[in-house]
Amino acid sequence: MLSSPIRATIRAVLLVAAAGGLWWSFGSLRAERYAVPLQPLAERMLAGERFPPETIQRIVAAVQPVEQQQTCDRAHNFAAIIRFHVVLLAVSAGSRGGTDLAAAAAAADQDLRAALACSPSQAYAWLALALLESGLGKAPTVYLPDLAMSYRVGPHEGWISWRRSGFAFAHLASLDPETRGRVQQEFELMSRDAPERAASVFLAAGEDVRKRLLGLLSDAPLPQRTAIARLLLAKDVDISLPGVEIDDGK
């Protein structure tokens, strides 16, 4: 039979454990309360939806309570995505948007780094950080390691691939051999599995990058090569690929 002091000790340990469990539950509920409204906003921004200036102000206001929480949870991941896309929207809108671009960029940088400190396996957050640093005029030696991390932690992220492929190819010569191989493999897979995405990457690329992409497109299966050539011709871009013959875009 347990002595009274031992029973008291066990009881104390159980009470502490129970209190800890309740505290964790309350913390999780609070974090979820912040995450629920931010997730659809982040998804809409990732889908390319644009928002008027007054809506952006409300979105930023919704993000701020999350930023004040010293926790690691998915709400912070959504906040980082939103902050980054606020910068993209501000750049697109220019002076018409009314957003303080420098302040928006600083907030996005802070949120992205906080999210990655909590969860460094987020390929999109690494890409967003690289794009942000590049847009701020930082040296490639600063942002290319972040781009490399995006490929390292998420080499087969289809929904990210078309967002980073053109940027990666523009810096291909400066990337380490391992990342360079991942960049090329990603575009090869995109050409095979998502010809329309491959065509959009090609259209957005400069002449030097297009030359590199043509070599990879030549190795794609013939049906995909043909589909990509048709998509490009519809945009008045005529390319020559092995085995592909198209007359007047038909």
Which pLDDT score is estimated for 26?
33
Find the farthest-apart pair of alpha carbons in the chain and give their distance in angstroms, rounded. 93
Q: Which residues contact 139 (CB under 8 A, 6 or more apart)?
A: none
The total number of structural domains in the chain stands at 2
Per-residue pLDDT at 250 exceeds 70: no
Pairwise CA distance, residues 25 & 103, whole Å: 35
pLDDT tens-digit map of 62-97: 999 989 888 888 999 999 999 999 999 998 887 666
Which pLDDT score is estimated for 148?
98
Angle CA 5–8–9, to nearest 5: 90
- State mean pLDDT over 129-146: 97
pLDDT tens-digit map of 14-34: 333 333 333 333 344 354 566
| Domain residue limits at 203 | 122-250
Q: Are residues 200 and 216 in the same domain?
A: yes
Q: Are residues 185 and 246 in the same domain?
A: yes
In a domain, 90, yes or no: yes
Residue pair 124/116 in contact (Cβ under 8 Å)? The answer is no
Which pLDDT score is estimated for 32?
58
Q: Are residues 218 and 140 in the same domain?
A: yes
pLDDT tens-digit map of 149-191: 999 999 999 899 999 999 999 999 999 999 999 999 999 999 9
Domain boundary among 97, 119, 141: 119
Distances (CA, A) of 26 to 54, 65, 104: 33, 17, 31
Which pLDDT score is estimated for 37?
85
Q: Are residues 76 and 131 in the same domain?
A: no
Which of 192, 197, 246 lies closest to 216 in space, CA to CA?
A: 192
Which pLDDT score is estimated for 199?
96
Which of 197, 180, 191 lies closest to 226 in space, CA to CA?
A: 191
Q: Are residues 112 and 49 in the same domain?
A: yes
Q: Which residues contact 213 (CB under 8 A, 6 or more apart)?
A: 169, 187, 201, 202, 205
Q: Are residues 155 and 38 in the same domain?
A: no
Residue pair 127/154 in contact (Cβ under 8 Å)? The answer is no
Pairwise CA distance, residues 240 & 242, whole Å: 7
Say how far residue 230 (Cα) sits from the centre of its chain.
29
pLDDT tens-digit map of 191-232: 999 999 999 999 999 998 999 999 999 999 999 999 999 999
Domain boundary among 102, 119, 136: 119
DSSP 156: T
Which pLDDT score is estimated for 95?
65
Q: Are residues 105 and 198 in the same domain?
A: no
Q: Are residues 115 and 192 in the same domain?
A: no
Which of 81, 77, 86 lies closest to 52 in space, CA to CA?
A: 86
Q: Are residues 113 and 175 in the same domain?
A: no
Q: Which residues contact 80 (CB under 8 A, 6 or more apart)?
A: 108, 111, 112, 114, 115, 125, 128
In a domain, 150, yes or no: yes
Q: Which residues contact 148 (CB under 8 A, 6 or more apart)?
A: 175, 176, 178, 179
Q: Are residues 97 and 145 in the same domain?
A: no
pLDDT tens-digit map of 106-133: 999 999 999 999 999 999 999 999 999 9
Query: What token pair was written down for 136?
Result: 């701020």
Which pLDDT score is estimated for 60?
93
Pairwise CA distance, residues 239 & 181, whole Å: 24
CB atoms within 10 A of CB 233: 16
Which pLDDT score is estimated for 244?
93
